[in-house]
Structure 1
Amino acid sequence: MTIMDRKFALCFTWICLFVLLILVLITNFTDNIFYGELDGQLFSEQTEILDEQLFSEPETKISLKRRSLITEKYKERLNHLQQTCLNSTDGFKGKSTDSDFKFNILIDKQHNLFYCQIQKVGTKFIKDLLRKLSQNHKKDKKDNLKNEWKLSDLNLMMENTDKIMFVREPYSRVLSGYVDKLFAPNNVYWDMSGRSVLKKTRDGANNHSLSCGHDVSFPEFVKYIIKSEKQGQNLDRHYAPLYEHCRPCQISYDFIGKLEFFKEDILFLLDYLNIKHGTNITFSDFESETTESRAIFQSQRLFNMREKLERCVSFFNATMRTWREMQIRGLISIHKQFPFDAEYTESHMTKEDLFVAVKNAISSVQNKSEVKAQRDAALIEAFRLVPTADLYALRRFLKPDCALFNYDSMPMKIFDRPYTDKKSLQYFNLF
């Protein structure tokens, strides 16, 4: 090869490298525009187009994503999530496996619905609503809500479905998981989680506690979450982070609801579903059922578990925990006393007695706002019992959820911590 040939080859190589570099820069630039990293252009452009389409198409043809993007509140939620995902280095993938993810996805092919359930975020209500949609559909009288599908089919299914998820303020969800699974009588979770919590957090725990798992305190529960996360151990889905359930950075959801605005968000969703599917489901269809169904559920659950519960606590204690759980949830006034004493409860109280007592207590509430405020009061009381170091460690655990779904990672009502005398406890004083 001559010197001229070598020079030509070297020159050609440099030209190719330069062209390749230009192509890479162009590709990165266009990717940035596509993913909305440049001042949220993707969402602003979409909204302008959708505004025109909204008035040119019949209501039945307007997708859930379009409705969300032209409604400021829902657009902001989707936009915030997208920007947070794009700014992350790991895409918030978390520790959940494909199997964990698949468990949380429910698909109704008949109505093209894709719902990702997150435990402790109104899942029972939402599933009841979606099932009612199936039952009210004139061509369909069976339950279509299934999670029997192959992960390999996910992309195809997502193209043609309305993708829905609901989230919740992360600190309140932590407390809700504790109250429902460990504070309230629940022999399954006492055995499955309670004993593990005590082994990991309570030095010198007695044999009765270790064998039953019935007396886990909220500070111990928080410490358990922190230690499990630090050790890389997976948590039960009722305690695991929100984002690990639904992979919100990998799936483009069409609607994100929040438990704090539950009725308003459900009404928005119902309006869309009723128009699209020709149904007439109302929120009151469920409200009227809630009081009675809650009373039935509580009485049946307590009596069904009675034999196993009494190996660990008295039946009166279990009943009082059930009553207190409903006070913590803002269903029964904290001033409403349980109507039966210990002797009657242990020896004579029937399932029907408890059902009537619960139903009457819920129905007798005159100031619903005041009783609902008990949720906040219980939250504040519970977190004031948590040592400061553990509270800040919990904040690190909850920070991804707070970032993704735009919640305060340091809410003042929790982090403003005056001294709490344990003798003055109103909600968490049963053990």
Structure 2
Amino acid sequence: MARCMKTANCVAILTLGQMIVVFIFIGLRWQTAHHVTFSDLSNRIIQDSEDHEKCYKLLQNKYFISNMATKPTRILTTATNKIYDEKWKSMQQRIEFALDKCSNSSDVKDITHRIQGIAWTSSNGNIAYCVTPKVGCTYWKRVFRFIYRDFNGTPKTPADIPRMYTHYGPLKNIKVFHLSEPAARTKMAYMKAFMFTRDPYTRLWSAYIDKYFLPDFWRTDAKNVVLSIRENATAYSKRCANDVTFEEFLTHVVRMSGSRMNEHYVPVHRLCSPCHMKFDYIGKQESFSADTKFILDDLDLGYLNNDNKSFADHVMEELKTLITYNFKLKSHLLSGCFHELDVARRLWLAFQINGYIPSEVNFPKADLMKVRHLNETEAVFTKLVLDQHNSSKKSSTEWKEQRKRFFVSAYQTVPLSLLEDVRDVFQLDFDIFNYESEPEELFYRPTSDK
């Protein structure tokens, strides 16, 4: 057998029993030679730099480089195959880049103490998704509910599962992994695992608009911001917390950086930690559609890409969903803290910020003032929003420019010292996921403002 193993074609003539013995022998020799296993990496705190380096080399060699080396070579016979192969290479480059940054960072050793994310899979599944709020998690939660039949009714596509049920409905078939537990991270090493990330600055801006400017967090985190950040806060602000500014929100994020942060703005490396876990795919919000299509195709779920709804249909659905969701929050807030006209005005501006309504169109206050009954406000407002969106002739480039203007303008109002603190809190995200930590458009300040 020893002579046979030296030949190029020996594996082909080995019996099944012989092959099993060979693989067991090789595995034992490998473990004996290396001593440190992936389980070691997940279950113990690395105390010295030598062990730290050894563990990360093991993670790199066993779970990344070897996997890439054994990936079957694709035959590029069509344009589709070439695109797929290029996307696959790009995905592997992201993983290699992240791992390289992890292995060269002095901050990595402390991450295991602060991991707070969760992953969705199923008791008999081989796919795991690390949930990253504000990075397309509604879409991916719908996909998981759909493929594992964790829904009510008879949805024909993932998009048919209601948003509220997607996030808050009971989980019957889906299993939740708490990634702070080493055993959960070890189990994910044997699944097809993926995660998504996003530029920290745009993620923070999105979290502020959706959760603080709009009423979702007024009864929870926004109150903590007012009480801890604002000096001489009024009784109304302490009670309703519906006037948190973007600067106050960022100040709160910085002050919370050393403790458990809300999942909607905690750094992504603390949610998914690609430094301590094996991921087969790392998607990005900035290329969400292309990354999603690739991941679904590679997981043999490509049929989910065959959505008959157009982009315009999805936008319309999103607008209606957000209006309904935010108006329903009235029943969860204290009396006097929710006013229909105020929430409608905020939604209008939020839709302008997100590039759904032209920024030059004024809020239709006069039309809403004509409504005789408060319970009709939502229906009238929804029609006004959809009509305005449908009548706009702006191109996708113009919508993108509009979103960017709001985004840059918001950060330009933030003191530079605070923006530098935000940069420091999310520095590892910038490094691992290859984002610019000091974009000139946000950090530039006229001399008089410095």
Give the structure-1-normalised TM-score. 0.75
Deviates more, 1:363-372 or 1:245-254: 363-372
Aligned partner of 2:266 in structure 1 is: 240
Aligned partner of 2:415 in structure 1 is: 387
Task: Give the CA RMSD over aligned residues.
Answer: 3.7
Q: Provide closer, same or farther for how the CA distance between residues 243 and 332 of structure 1 changes in structure 2, counting only shifts above 3 A.
A: same
Is 1:50 equivalent to 2:71 in the alignment? yes
- 8 Å CA contact 2:53–2:103 kept in 1: the answer is no
Q: Provide closer, same or farther for how the CA distance between residues 334 and 345 of structure 1 changes in structure 2, counting only shifts above 3 A.
A: farther
Matches within 5 A, 1:94-113: 94=111, 100-101=116-117, 104-109=118-123, 111-113=125-127
Is 1:329 equivalent to 2:367 in the alignment? no
- Secondary structure (helix, strand or coil) at the match of 1:279 reads helix
Is 1:174 equivalent to 2:207 in the alignment? no
Whole-angstrom distance in 1 between the partners of 2:212 and 2:52: 50
Aligned partner of 2:255 in structure 1 is: 227
Matches within 5 A, 1:184-333: 184-186=214-216, 189-229=217-257, 232-273=258-299, 276=300, 279=303, 281-282=305-306, 285=309, 287=311, 289-306=313-330, 308=333, 311-312=336-337, 314-333=339-358
- Secondary structure (helix, strand or coil) at the match of 1:191 reads coil
What is the CA distance between 1:227 and its match in structure 2? 2.1
Whole-angstrom distance in 2 between the partners of 1:80 and 1:376: 27
Aligned partner of 2:388 in structure 1 is: 361
Matches within 5 A, 1:22-33: none
- The Cα offsets for residues 151-201 of structure 1, whole Å up to 9 and x where unpaired, read as 575256324421010000001111111111111133xx1121112112222
Aligned partner letter, 1:297: T
What is the CA distance between 1:129 and its match in structure 2? 2.9
Whole-angstrom distance in 2 between the partners of 1:241 and 1:45: 29
Aligned partner of 1:118 in structure 2 is: 132
What is the CA distance between 1:418 and its match in structure 2? 4.2
What is the CA distance between 1:224 and its match in structure 2? 1.4
- 8 Å CA contact 2:189–2:278 kept in 1: the answer is no
- 8 Å CA contact 1:166–1:257 kept in 2: the answer is yes
- 8 Å CA contact 1:267–1:283 kept in 2: the answer is no
What is the CA distance between 1:251 and its match in structure 2? 0.6
- 8 Å CA contact 1:117–1:165 kept in 2: the answer is yes
Among all aligned residue pairs of Structure 1 and Structure 2, give the percentage whose two residues are the same amino acid: 25
Aligned partner of 1:370 in structure 2 is: 398
- The Cα offsets for residues 136-165 of structure 1, whole Å up to 9 and x where unpaired, read as 79xxxx974432789575256324421010
Aligned partner of 1:81 in structure 2 is: 98
- 8 Å CA contact 1:212–1:312 kept in 2: the answer is yes
Aligned partner letter, 1:409: S
Aligned partner letter, 2:404: D
Whole-angstrom distance in 2 between the partners of 1:202 and 1:70: 47
Whole-angstrom distance in 1 between the partners of 2:66 and 2:186: 26
- 8 Å CA contact 2:121–2:176 kept in 1: the answer is yes
- 8 Å CA contact 1:81–1:405 kept in 2: the answer is yes
Q: Provide closer, same or farther for how the CA distance between residues 329 and 162 of structure 1 changes in structure 2, counting only shifts above 3 A.
A: same
Q: How many residues align?
A: 372
Q: Provide closer, same or farther for how the CA distance between residues 272 and 289 of structure 1 changes in structure 2, counting only shifts above 3 A.
A: farther
- Secondary structure (helix, strand or coil) at the match of 2:91 reads helix
What is the CA distance between 1:239 and its match in structure 2? 1.8
Is 1:158 equivalent to 2:188 in the alignment? yes
Larger radius of gyration: 1
Q: Provide closer, same or farther for how the CA distance between residues 148 and 271 of structure 1 changes in structure 2, counting only shifts above 3 A.
A: closer
- 8 Å CA contact 1:120–1:238 kept in 2: the answer is yes
Whole-angstrom distance in 1 between the partners of 2:87 and 2:223: 49
Whole-angstrom distance in 2 between the partners of 1:68 and 1:154: 31
What is the CA distance between 1:420 and its match in structure 2? 11
- 8 Å CA contact 2:87–2:294 kept in 1: the answer is no
Whole-angstrom distance in 2 between the partners of 1:420 and 1:68: 51
Aligned partner letter, 2:388: A
2:429 paired residue among 401, 404, 407: 401
- Secondary structure (helix, strand or coil) at the match of 1:257 reads strand
Unaligned runs of 5+ in 2: 1-34, 37-49, 76-83, 150-155, 158-170
- 8 Å CA contact 1:92–1:400 kept in 2: the answer is no
- Secondary structure (helix, strand or coil) at the match of 1:350 reads helix
- 8 Å CA contact 2:189–2:277 kept in 1: the answer is no
Aligned partner of 1:59 in structure 2 is: none
